Structures are given as structure tokens and as C-alpha cells.
Structure 1
Amino acid sequence: MLEQTTNRFAVLVEEDDNEALVKDDSNDKVIDKGIENVEPEVNFDLNHFSEDVKVKLAKELKSLGPMNSEKKKRNGRGARKKEASLYLKEMVRDENVFFIGLMETKMSNIGRMEVNCLLGNEWDYFHQPAVGTSGGILVLWNIKLVSFEVCEASSQLIIGNLSIPCLGMWKIATVYGSRCNKERGDLLSQLERSMENSSPSIIGGDFNCILNKEEKRGGKRFMFSKVPRDMQSFMVNSDFYDIGVVGPRYTWCNNKEGNSRIWERLDRCILNSLAMQKLPLVVNRHLARMASDHCPIVLKMDDRIRFKSRTIKFEDTWKSYPAAKNIVFHSWKKQDEGNEYEVLRKKLNRTLKSLFFWSRNKCKDLNVLKDNLKKEILDFQNKEALNNNWSAEDLFLLRNKVHQLNITMKRLSTWWNQRAKARWHEEGNTNSKLHNFATARRNGNRIFQVKDEANKVHMDEDQIEKVFTKFFEKKWEYRECEVTGWPQIMENQKLNAEDMDLLNAEFTENEMQTAVFQQGKNKSPGADGVTSSFYKCYWNIVWDTLWKAVRKIFSSSHMNKDWKDTLIVLIPKIRNPLFPSNYRPISLCQTNYKIVATMIVNRLKKGMDRMTSEEQVAFIHGRSIAEHCLLAQEIFHKFKISKNKKGMMAVKLDMEQACDSMGWNTLRHILRWYWFPIIFSNLILECVVDVRFSIIINGKNSDWIKAHSGFHQGCPLSPYLFIMCFQLMTNLLEQNGRSLGIQISSGGPKISHLLYADDALIFSHASIELARKMKTIVKKFCKWTGQRINIGKSQLLFGKIVNHRMRRKIGRLLGFKIVKEMRYLGVKISLERMKMADYQEVLSNAMERLNVWSRKSLSLGGKLILIEGS
């Protein structure tokens, strides 16, 4: 259905397998309260039957038992069910629907009177009859709000043109996919032919297929077979996108009990790129199942984006205008009073404002300019074809217009590329469909609802902000960490005299320039709105002022607090996130802050390979994650073939918000533990402590939250500081857990653990004593660092020879879930032989990644980057 909302409108697709309307076909009698069937009256004259027949009929009637004197009423099915009728009316009223698609109506026909009773006489309809007792599609639309013209109809779909005031013509397809693979293939072929890319298009309904394992629960294991592959290939080839959903993850349930109960997402709404471009904000809601085993889908669309932030941000497109350099030069050379920080802040604010107002007054809208140039080029080319007074001046103007169009297209690509945060352009791709990726990111990151600690759902934006603010205030609270009883640091891990001389040396202008040009492209700006592109482009103008401010920090070991103010964006960790913990907080540090932090990191990381043990491979130059994966697989192969009577076990530890939970007191003592110079230690602490955060929720910045613990993700320093603190785990295992660990081969080294940042695998022989020792070591580490173990995600895997009694004892002692397979660094590890089905997820993820970008428009290098990221 389509629905009108206070913002604009919405689309509702309702799938119903039950009953709603009942009509008397014989006398066309419509009854209120659901429109029920009335059995036609039939009179029997018994005088026409012989006595033997009468006796036989009497016996048969007697065997049927007592019968109610009331006329028996037939229950409606499909779209004629009374409950579905009442639910549909309520939904149209509550959701302000203006277009409806009903699938599997199970009706051979429907009359005008039935529709009037169902929704009212302001609704028009088109019905595709059911085939026998299955199928049937009914579409209805409110003629006071929209008009709809059917273009194609078959047993599996209805396609038409929907005219919406102020939004123009839309192509709408209502789908009921067959369970037969061949017929579903015919459906996809028909959709590919009919849903052209020249108009905004929406396809919604029951496709009777799922795309990945996350869309199914219960029953047989999901297989990435031909059905999902064909569906995803259709979406990629036809430029359709599956947007995120709000509400229940699954749209269908078989309503059975116990282990036989199955949930699947069979129904979906997909949009093409033109639809997403025209309606940047789309909300796809799954409502509760009431009158059917399918849940209704409401697609609400809003063509207006309400930007809450008023921060002026540097646009990369400004660099392509020669006039912008003059504006920067004249704005920057003005004299300002104050200390080094204040002078830099005033110059940046003045320059950004000058560029912003210049672009608003002088620069034309790029999309409008592109359309005008295309029209002018076409006029010139028509004139040339007709040879009407064609002159050399006209040829010059034509070439000039083509040149301007190419520049405009590049500027448009740059504008969208800055918002898409994509890396395909690094391989030469300047795709004009970058807006699809940017729009998909915006839709995917928008928060429509959240649950608080009391499991209450909030949908009001102010309440959503309060829930997140409360969550992060608790998360960044002060953590009491013990700093006694730490393991001894190895002599080769301590900083030597050469390292200290390097760290104590004065920072130079060249180091600052290196740090500036190390900053990544298209990184989102912080609270000041300045990007690294600004410094890189106008380096010769701005470097001196920037250097004075940066040098002030290193000379005083004190950073201006305004530089540490950080914005937080929330990236969903899972599909359909509902709790604040389902989001990953990413810090948008200010560019000035990142330059200082990068200069410190460039010195710090030179000694990281010696400071961290070989078990840790994250962020250390020369260490390979692939080698770590191979080593883990070799160890688990030993689990499978070992005949040692003790047996073996592996524990996978998962830390709760590890980077954001590290205690600052731990960092202070870690720096002393490694023998860092006092001045350099103070510089590191200045970048970490006394930080304020503001969370961006749907484009609006929350109030500032003062943090008392944690390293913010997005800061160049955070990964290195985190693995330095995590070195406590390695030293503790090596010194106090020597009985832990296993040998892959005789005479080989004993391996007790593997680390990638906070992803930890610990190995030992399977015994209660070793499990207790392992638990003690983990508890000590948590007390020293403020970390917490995520019991629900930590896992325990045993070798084949370990008996079930021992497994249960160790499982109860540690409190972790016992599994037969686990994932480490994205690779599935199992003691069983890997089957083709175990790699289906790789194909599924790759296809999903391809669907966020038009694969036809990518070069070979761009496709490689895309696949590597999946």
C-alpha cells in the first residue's frame, strides 16, 4: 500500500495468507462485520425418493451427529478473512496509506461493493485472479491522492505507473513470487525487462526467497544456491537496492512450535538509484504479524532532509575553482590577535565562512548547470547537423560547452565522492552513481528507534538522544584499575637509550608536513569543519600558522582543549540494530588534533615491533594477519588428530567495547612500564584524557559528554596505545601461565595464545586446573585494565578426544558457550571437514557488497578493492 504521512507519504506492502472479505456470489449480499458468505437455500422433496433411499439417507444423517439449527457459515480465505479486513482498515487509518499491495488473496474475483466495504469508495483497485486456490494479487490506491495505471499483469506481478503530486511518475511493481524456481526465474526476467532505469522504481512484495543466512532462523541451514544468486544478480544488473528495515527482522513465520518453528524474510521492498536519489530519506518498517503469517511492510518516503548541524565544512569541489585560492589567500593574510591557538582558529573560521558565502552566491548548482550545458550542447549539435549558418565561432562555443560539462561532471563526482567515503576512485573510477552509495550510507546509518535499559522502545528523536547519552555516559565513566602485581617487563621490550633520544628530539616542520599528507582522502571533518584536503591544497598559504600552533603543543606538553572536542558517529554493527550497544562509536577527530597525533604515532611505531610480542599481529609493520590465520588453522588441525589423553581446548575471548573501556590509569602506568620519557608520556596523555564527545544522531549533535576512560576509535594513536596495554595479557600468560599452551609438533614451540588487537585465542590442555588458571589470568587482566569479558560472545572449543563430562565441567567453570566451530579473524575454524556450504557466506557477502555499487561501472582495480573489503 502507499501511505501519506505528515512528512510526505509512505508505501505499505501487505502480504496476507488468511481471510478478510466474504461476498455472497449468489445474491450479491454484502454483510457488515467482515462480509460473510451466505449459503444459498436448497429445498429437497423427499417424496421423489424410494423408501430404501430414504432409509439410507437417514442412517447417513444420523452418523453425522447432532447439527446446529443455524445455517452453517463458510469461513473466508485469503483476502476475505474477517480479521485481515479489520486489521487492514486500522492500518490504513493509522499509517495514512495511499497505495496497497495484497499478495496471495486466494480470490478468483472481487467486486466494487467488496472494495467499498473494505476501504471506502475513494479507493480504486486492480485484481489479478488467483490460480486455483493459491496466488492472486490485489492493488488498491486512493484516487483522491494518487493515480495508478496498470502496464503489465501476470500471476506473479502487477506493474504500473503511479502518479504522485509534486513527485511525478513512479514505476511500481507488486510481486508474489512463485515457489517454483523456474517460474521465479521468469519473474526476475520479466522484472528486468520491464523496470527500466529511466524512472524512479519500487518493487515490493513476497519474493519467496532469502538472500543470506541472517534472513533465516530455524529449519535447514541456509544455502547460497541458485535462488539467492539469481535474486542478487537481478538487483545488481537492474540497479536495485535493498534498504535497511525498522522492526522485526523476519517477515514470515510458519507458526509451528518448538524446534519446528521457522522465521524467514521472504518479503522486501527494493528501490532503484533514481528512487533513492529523489527520496534521500526512506524508512522501511516491518509491522507486527496479526491477521497473517506474513508481516505487513510499510515504506515511508520523505524527499526532504532536515539538516540539524550548522557547522560550515570544507567542500573538496571548491579546490577546482581558481577563485577559491584567492579567497583563501586574502582571508588568511589578515592579522589576528591572541595566542597561537586562537590565531589559527580565527583564520580557519574566517576562511571557511568566506568560501561558503562565495560558493553560495557565485557558484551555480552543479546539477542545474549540468542539465543546462547538456541542453546547450544539444542545440549546437542540432544546428551543426542542419548546417544553418554554422561558423568557426559556433564550433569554438560548442567545444567550450563540452569542456565545461566535463569539468562540471568531475565536480559532481567529487561532491558525491566526499559523501560516499568510497575508495574506488583511487583506481580511476569516477562513477556518476556515487550518490547511490552516499544515500545508502545515510539510510543505513539513520536511527529510527532504540531500546533503553528497561526494554522500552523509543521513536521520538529527543528520547533517542537521551537513551544514547545515558548509555555513553555510563560507558565512559571512570574505571578503577589496579596497578600492582603486574608481570615484569622483558628487558628487550623496554625502551633503550636510542629510542629515548628519538622520542625526546624536537619535532620539525617536515614531520608536520609528512603527517598532514598522510591523512586519508574523504575523511569526515570534526567539529571545526576543516578537512586535510584544505591543508593539502593551500599548504603554501597556511603552513606557517599551523606550525606555530603545533609547535606550541610540543614545547608546552599541553594541548588546547577545543582541539580535543570530538564528534561521534554511530555505525551499526548488525542488521536492524535496536540497542545502543549494537552501534560502533567512531570518532570524528578534528584535523588539527589528528595531525599532532599522527606526528606522535610516526615516532612511536618505530619501536612497536620490539615492544609487543610476536603473538600480537595488529598494526605492527611486517606482521601478517594471513600467517596468523594459517597458524590458528594448524593448531585446530592438531585438535582434530591429537590422541593425547588429556585432550585440548581453545578459548576465544570477546571484550565488551574493548577500545572504549580501557582505563586511563592503566595507560599512565603502561607508559612507565615501558620506560617512556616523561615529556613524551605527557604528550600522549594530553591526546587521550579530558576529551569531550558529542554524538551525531540523525544529523543533530547531542550535548557534550565528558569522558573519563577509553580510547576513541578514529584517533591515530588509539590502536597503538591499546595493543601496548594488551601486552599485559601476553606477559601474564608467559610468566604465570607456563603450563598453558600446546605444541603442534614434537620439539616445536609451545603456543599459549594468539592476538589480533583484542581478538584473543588461548590454548591449553583440557583440565579443570588449567581452566581455573586461565580464568584467574583473565580476571587479573580485567582488574588491571578496566576491561570486561562479553560472556555471551566468548566461546569454548574442545578437541575430539575430550569427553562430554569434562566439557560440561569446564564450560560451567568458565561460563562460556561450548561450540563445535568458531570464527577467528573472519575465518571459520571447525574440527569437521569443511564443506562447500561453509563457504557460502563468502559468496553471499561478496554479492551484497556488489549490490551497494553498480559493478558495471567499476574498473578491475575497483572490483578488487570492493571484494577485498567484503
Structure 2
Amino acid sequence: MWIRRDIGPAEALSSKIQAQGLSVEGLDWSPISKESALRLDSPFIEEEISKAIFQLDRDKAPGPNGFTIAVFQDCWDVIKEDLMRVFTEFHRSGIINQSTNASFIVLLPKKSLTKKISDFRPISLITSLYKIIAKVLSGRLRRVLHETIHSTQGAFVQGRQILDAVLIANEIVDERRRLGEEGVVFKIDFEKAYDHMKWDFLDQVLEKKGFSPRWRKWMSGCLSLASYAVLVNGSVKGWVKASRGLRQGDPLSPFLFTLVAYVLSRMLLRAEERNMLEGFRVGRNRTRVSHLQFADDTIFFSNTREEDLQTLKSLLLVFGHISGLKVNLDKSNIYGINLDQVHLSRLAEMLDCKASS
């Protein structure tokens, strides 16, 4: 039985997971090495803190405390001992005090005429001290991601370029067209990608990938201790605590998102291994490629069999259910290769997405 969006979500999704084995159990987690885990936990040193400070944009809008990064850069020799004490305490406790982890939310208009709240884009203004802590942590994390993130992800991994994924996708589509084989490219849109991520799922991913309890505690401190107030016409309106999601502007956010997106990639690769997804066969060796990821963008390559596309939709629903990263099918697009528009429209209707020529 195929899941429709109007079926009771818990029952339908649970049945689908059990019937086809689409859960995260038994995935290849590709954990980081024990040596890398130890390096992540090592005491902070003055050199890496200084490097992080001078890599940050000095004039970006400040958070609630009003200090820009320029203050830390210009006064580094004066404040470095105090900053070292802050990092030493964070290394020990994993706790960032409330004033340091506070953010202002500013609503920026997406277009000139704004009528609805959806016409605005929320941006977090983070304190400079938190940004420095997160920049140091993200620098450490960036150096180990290549050990644990699959080659289908082209962004935020050391040694990889986002342009690689664009070029590979272009070559894959060109070859399919040249061979005259039918196929579809499905580009998905995550619904408020950073806002909906479940923290408990992120922690599970970190644990499975070999990150230490100390590192996981640090990540929890960065995320769960954050508080927000909305800045309206220069006035602060209320303070609230977050219960999920990542902050736009937080140096850690793209790397943590990449770790969670890895799970979707592994679910797709396992479906390939079980011949539930075919993908495209490319190159002389007819290598199978089912998807590419670059940051929060994911594109899928599929034949036109309805069974394969139904499996793909199931995987996306399951992944959204467990991670919080739900796909906005209304804003997702399917593109046909050597396919007539009528057939493409039928497949788009089945996926509840848009058909694009």
C-alpha cells in the first residue's frame, strides 16, 4: 500500500518503515577515527582562537550585547587572557551562559511588497562571543568531516567543492540525453531546512558517527541553551527558548546540517543496494548514481518506473519523520529527460510536486 499524505501519519509511516526496512537501523554510519575524536576534544589553544577571530567578518551586525567582531580583533592583546578563561570553562562544562547564547531575530523582507509573515525571512543576530566559540568548534569539525561524509555531498567538506556537484550533475544529464534514455531529475526543497531539525536525532547521529560524549555535550550546549527575542523596529519583543532547529548565521549550522543530511544519503544508497532504486547508470563502467547533495540542496536521478519514485517518496517521508527535515513537495520540481510532457506531468502528480520542462 502506498502512503498518501492524508493518511494518519504515525500509522502509515510506521507500517511503511516495517514493511520495506526504510528505518535508520543497520545503516553504515562511517564513524570518525578514535584519533579524530580525541583531537576534537583536546583543550583549546590561543592560536586556534586567534585564527577564528580574525577569519570572522569584523563589521557584521552585532547580537544582543552590541559588540562586533571588530572589538575582539582590535583588542585581542588586551582580552585574550579573559577569552582563554571562557574557553577553558566551556571545555570543562560545555555550558554557554544565557547572555552569550542569546540571539535577536530580525525579519527581512523577501520582496518589496510584504503582506504576510511568510514574505519575511528571519535572520539571527548572534553575540560575537558565541560566534567565536562556534567558529572554533566548526573549524575542528570541518577537519574531520571528510572521514564520515559520503562523496555524494559536495559542500562544507574539506577538499570538496560545491561546483563539483554542479559539474557532475550536468555531465550525468548530458549523457542520459545523448544516449536517448528516459529519466527524471527530482530536485527537492526542504521546508525551512534549518528550523525543523530535531536535536535528539542530531545527537543520535553524532553518537553513531563516533563523536565523544564531551563533543555531544558541547553541541547540546550550543543549541539547547540558546534564547531568542524578536527585534521589531529596533525594540526587543519577548524572550523564548528554542526546542529544535539550527540558527542561520551560526558557524556550526552548515556542518551539523551536513551530518544529518548524510543519513538521507545512506538510506538512498541502501535502497540502491537492495535494488529498490535504480538511479542512472553512467560512464564506461555504468556506475549507478541516484543522488547528489550540495549544502541543503539535494537532487535525485531516477528512471521513470513508478515503483522507484514511490520508494523515493517513501524514503523522503521517513527521513522527514525521524529527522524533522520535511520536504516541501509543493516547492520541489521534477524534470524530464527524453520524456514527453504528459508522462512527466503524471509522475509529478504522483510525487505531489511541480513538473518543469
Q: TM-score range by the shorter chain?
A: 0.7 to 0.9
Question: Residue 541 in 1 paired to residue 65 in 2?
Answer: no
Equivalent in the alignment of 1:859: none
Equivalent in the alignment of 1:507: 44
Letter in 2 for 1:554: H
Distance 1:775 1:651 in 2: 11
- Once the two structures are TM-superposed, the CA of residue 583 in structure 1 deviates from its matched residue by 2.4
Equivalent in the alignment of 2:6: none
Question: Residue 749 in 1 paired to residue 287 in 2?
Answer: yes
Distance 1:638 1:763 in 2: 12
SS of structure 2 residue aligned to 1:702 = strand
Letter in 2 for 1:770: D
Structure 1 segment 731-750 matched on structure 2, within 5 A: 731-738=266-273, 739-750=277-288
Question: Residue 589 in 1 paired to residue 126 in 2?
Answer: yes
Equivalent in the alignment of 1:767: 305
- Once the two structures are TM-superposed, the CA of residue 489 in structure 1 deviates from its matched residue by 4.6
The answer as to whether partners of 2:313 and 2:351 remain within 8 angstroms in 1 is yes
Letter in 1 for 2:317: K
Equivalent in the alignment of 1:390: none
SS of structure 2 residue aligned to 1:525 = coil
TM-score scaled to structure 2, two decimals? 0.88
Task: From the superposition, tell whether residues 575 and 789 of structure 1 become closer, same or farther in structure 2 (CA, over 3 Å).
Answer: farther
Q: Which has the larger radius of gyration?
A: 1
- Once the two structures are TM-superposed, the CA of residue 747 in structure 1 deviates from its matched residue by 1.3
- Once the two structures are TM-superposed, the CA of residue 575 in structure 1 deviates from its matched residue by 4.2
Equivalent in the alignment of 1:463: none
Letter in 2 for 1:611: T
Structure 1 segment 21-32 matched on structure 2, within 5 A: none
Equivalent in the alignment of 1:728: 263
CA deviation profile, 1:83-121 (whole Å, cap 9, x unmatched): xxxxxxxxxxxxxxxxxxxxxxxxxxxxxxxxxxxxxxx
Equivalent in the alignment of 2:4: none
Structure 1 segment 489-504 matched on structure 2, within 5 A: 489-490=27-28, 493-504=30-41
Question: Residue 680 in 1 paired to residue 215 in 2?
Answer: yes
The answer as to whether partners of 1:563 and 1:593 remain within 8 angstroms in 2 is yes
- Once the two structures are TM-superposed, the CA of residue 785 in structure 1 deviates from its matched residue by 0.9
Letter in 1 for 2:202: L
Distance 1:724 1:789 in 2: 17
Equivalent in the alignment of 1:714: 249
- Once the two structures are TM-superposed, the CA of residue 487 in structure 1 deviates from its matched residue by 5.0
Question: Residue 662 in 1 paired to residue 193 in 2?
Answer: no
Number of aligned residue pairs: 336
The answer as to whether partners of 2:224 and 2:243 remain within 8 angstroms in 1 is yes
CA deviation profile, 1:61-88 (whole Å, cap 9, x unmatched): xxxxxxxxxxxxxxxxxxxxxxxxxxxx
Task: From the superposition, tell whether residues 485 and 788 of structure 1 become closer, same or farther in structure 2 (CA, over 3 Å).
Answer: closer
SS of structure 1 residue aligned to 2:195 = helix
2:188 to 653, 661, 665: 653
Equivalent in the alignment of 2:351: 814
CA deviation profile, 1:450-483 (whole Å, cap 9, x unmatched): xxxxxxxxxxxxxxxxxxxxxxxxxxxxxxx999
User: Deviating runs (4+, > 4 A) in structure 1?
Assistant: 481-484
Equivalent in the alignment of 2:335: 797
- Once the two structures are TM-superposed, the CA of residue 703 in structure 1 deviates from its matched residue by 1.2
1:525 to 62, 75, 91: 62
Question: Residue 561 in 1 paired to residue 114 in 2?
Answer: no
Letter in 1 for 2:143: K
SS of structure 1 residue aligned to 2:186 = strand
Task: From the superposition, tell whether residues 772 and 604 of structure 1 become closer, same or farther in structure 2 (CA, over 3 Å).
Answer: same
SS of structure 2 residue aligned to 1:737 = helix
Letter in 1 for 2:328: N
Letter in 1 for 2:149: T
Distance 1:593 1:614 in 2: 31
- Once the two structures are TM-superposed, the CA of residue 614 in structure 1 deviates from its matched residue by 1.3
Equivalent in the alignment of 1:72: none
The answer as to whether partners of 2:272 and 2:278 remain within 8 angstroms in 1 is yes
2:296 to 758, 770, 775: 758
Letter in 2 for 1:664: W
Letter in 2 for 1:594: K
Question: Residue 618 in 1 paired to residue 127 in 2?
Answer: no
Equivalent in the alignment of 1:781: 319
Q: Percent identity?
A: 26
Equivalent in the alignment of 2:137: 600
Distance 2:173 2:333 in 1: 14
Distance 2:188 2:216 in 1: 30
The answer as to whether partners of 1:634 and 1:744 remain within 8 angstroms in 2 is no
Structure 1 segment 325-344 matched on structure 2, within 5 A: none
Task: From the superposition, tell whether residues 535 and 805 of structure 1 become closer, same or farther in structure 2 (CA, over 3 Å).
Answer: closer
SS of structure 2 residue aligned to 1:558 = coil
Distance 1:606 1:588 in 2: 26
Letter in 2 for 1:676: F
SS of structure 2 residue aligned to 1:660 = coil
Distance 1:759 1:582 in 2: 21
CA deviation profile, 1:299-352 (whole Å, cap 9, x unmatched): xxxxxxxxxxxxxxxxxxxxxxxxxxxxxxxxxxxxxxxxxxxxxxxxxxxxxx
The answer as to whether partners of 1:503 and 1:603 remain within 8 angstroms in 2 is yes
Distance 1:582 1:504 in 2: 42
- Once the two structures are TM-superposed, the CA of residue 803 in structure 1 deviates from its matched residue by 4.6
CA deviation profile, 1:767-816 (whole Å, cap 9, x unmatched): 1111111111111110111122222210111122x355543432222111
The answer as to whether partners of 1:795 and 1:816 remain within 8 angstroms in 2 is yes
Letter in 1 for 2:288: K
Letter in 2 for 1:652: K
Equivalent in the alignment of 1:54: none
SS of structure 1 residue aligned to 2:331 = coil
Task: From the superposition, tell whether residues 573 and 612 of structure 1 become closer, same or farther in structure 2 (CA, over 3 Å).
Answer: farther
CA deviation profile, 1:695-750 (whole Å, cap 9, x unmatched): 22222222112211110011111110001000011000000234331023341421
Distance 2:263 2:109 in 1: 30
- Once the two structures are TM-superposed, the CA of residue 624 in structure 1 deviates from its matched residue by 2.0
Structure 1 segment 227-238 matched on structure 2, within 5 A: none
The answer as to whether partners of 1:651 and 1:763 remain within 8 angstroms in 2 is yes
The answer as to whether partners of 2:188 and 2:297 remain within 8 angstroms in 1 is yes
Distance 1:798 1:544 in 2: 60
The answer as to whether partners of 2:316 and 2:326 remain within 8 angstroms in 1 is no
The answer as to whether partners of 2:109 and 2:119 remain within 8 angstroms in 1 is yes
SS of structure 1 residue aligned to 2:154 = coil
Q: Which ranges in structure 2 are unaligned for 5 or more consecutive residues? A: 1-12
Question: Residue 577 in 1 paired to residue 114 in 2?
Answer: yes
